[in-house]
Amino acid sequence: MRYSLLQLTFIHLKEFVRQPAVFFWGFLFPVAMAWVLGVAFSNQSEPIHRIGILVESKSDSPTAVQWVQEALDKQNQLDVELVPMTSEEAIKAVKKGEIQLYLENSFTATSDWIFHFDPRNKEAERSYLYLKSFMMDLSDQVDSPNTVRPRFTLQEFQSIGTRYIDFLVPGMIGMGIMNSCLWGMGYGLVELRIRKLLRRMVASPMKKWEFLFGYFLSRLAATCLESAFLFGFVFIYFDSTVTGSWPALLAVFLSGNCAFAGLAVFLASRTDNSRVGNGLINTATLPMMILSGVFFSYRNFPEWCIHIIQMLPLTRLVDSLRGIFNLAYTMNDCLSSIVVMLSTGLVFSLLGLKVFRWH
């Protein structure tokens, strides 16, 4: 190898390892993420497929449920959790994203099964294929000439609010708000500090609160436009609607923006290194993007961490938006989330401003 090439390689490598923050984001953070996602959530004793099974009332213990449950137990299928529910409860659970699929049969025979789900939802389709193959295997093992092979019928979700797109759009809007605030405002502040423009601006009578509030308003305008554009598209193309209260939607939207703007100020409060800023914002956004139920339901995560996930600001925001879009949530239904999100924004803003480096 040429000496100069060797020198250049080592110079870049030294520059990299001599920056402890970069070293952390490059080496330790990915390992921590791999541990959280790979080890903690791969616990085989936790169910992966949460599937509704229709019963007439909750107190029933119908043969069909028992048949499937016993069969599951027999084959040690611990990754499937059957949740008996009425038809009304099942639809509600689908709208909330708690389940993506539910099973129905005639309650008199175990052979005719109807799978209710949206085939465009890949997670639901995976659960369907998984359960179907396992039920087929089970019927093959019953060595009796009288055994009727089970028949499977697909019933595609038709009503607005139960489709995957209805689940996805509120998640996308919530994620848009988070990214717009954390990248647009948080990273923007770090960049202004790097350019020394922040330093220049505070060497004038500019009010600091005006500067930050102006930044917040600009991001709010951007998220309004982005969300309206997305909603306009799904309204026209997928006939999506808002079934809940519009004032509640406005309040949730604003409080979500406040929460993430506060977090942005906090994350951007000290650093003047773009790579560190990048790492900090990724640390906040990546786990929430994965855990908070943007693309798939967080109900499939282990029970112990669902409570933690529900405390994340993005989960609060997405759950509230989903409730307003699909479950006709009113202001009262969203009030606790609005208060929590506003408080989150306030606490992080105050913490951030306390240590904020203007110079």
Member of 28, 142, 203, 221 binding other proteins (CB under 8 A): 203
Q: Which amino acid is at 255?
A: S
Nearer to other proteins, 79 or 191 (CB): 191
Return the HEC string of the chain: CCHHHHHHHHHHHHHHHCCHHHHHHHHHHHHHHHHHHHHHHHCCCCCCEEEEEECCCCCCCCHHHHHHHHHHHHCCCCCEEEEEECHHHHHHHHHHCCCCEEEEECCCCCCEEEEEECCCCHHHHHHHHHHHHHHHHHHHHCCCCCCCCCEEEEEECCCCCCCHHHHHHHHHHHHHHHHHHHHHHHHHHHHHHHCCHHHHHHCCCCCHHHHHHHHHHHHHHHHHHHHHHHHHHHHHHHCCCCCCCHHHHHHHHHHHHHHHHHHHHHHCCCCCCHHHHHHHHHHHHHHHHHHCCCCCCHHHCCHHHHHHHHHCHHHHHHHHHHHHHHCCCCHHHHHHHHHHHHHHHHHHHHHHHHHCCCC
Q: Which of 151, 195, 208, 357 binds other proteins (CB under 8 A)?
A: 195
Distances (CA, A) of 346 to 255, 262, 314, 349: 10, 6, 16, 5
Q: How far is the CB of 207 from other proteins (least distance, A)?
A: 8
196 binds other proteins (CB under 8 A): yes
Q: Is 200 in the site for other proteins (CB under 8 A)?
A: yes
Q: How far is the CB of 309 from other proteins (least distance, A)?
A: 37
**For other proteins, which residue of 17, 31, 34, 197 counts as binding (CB under 8 A)?**
197
Part in contact with other proteins (CB under 8 A); list of ranges 78-86, 94-102, 202-210, 293-301: 202-210
Task: Write the interaction track for other proteins spanning residues 205-244; mark x where CB under 8 A is met and - where it is not.
Answer: xx--------------------------------------
Q: How many residues bind other proteins (CB under 8 A)?
A: 12
**Which of 76, 158, 204, 332 forms a contact with other proteins (CB under 8 A)?**
204
Establish if 354 lies at the interface with other proteins (CB under 8 A).
no
Q: Which is nearer to other proteins, 145 or 205 (by Cβ)?
A: 205
Closer to other proteins by Cβ: residue 215 or 301: 215
Q: Is 11 in the site for other proteins (CB under 8 A)?
A: no
Shorter beta-carbon distance to other proteins: residue 76 or 204: 204
CB of 201 to other proteins, least distance (A): 8
We find the least distance from the C-beta atom of residue 210 to other proteins, in angstroms, to be 9
The reply on whether position 270 binds other proteins by CB under 8 A is no
Residue of 132, 199, 270, 275 interacting with other proteins (CB under 8 A): 199
Which stretch in 21-29, 189-197, 222-230, 261-269 sits in contact with other proteins by CB under 8 A?
A: 189-197
Q: Contact between 74 and other proteins (CB under 8 A)?
A: no
Residues that bind other proteins (CB under 8 A): 195-197, 199-206, 359
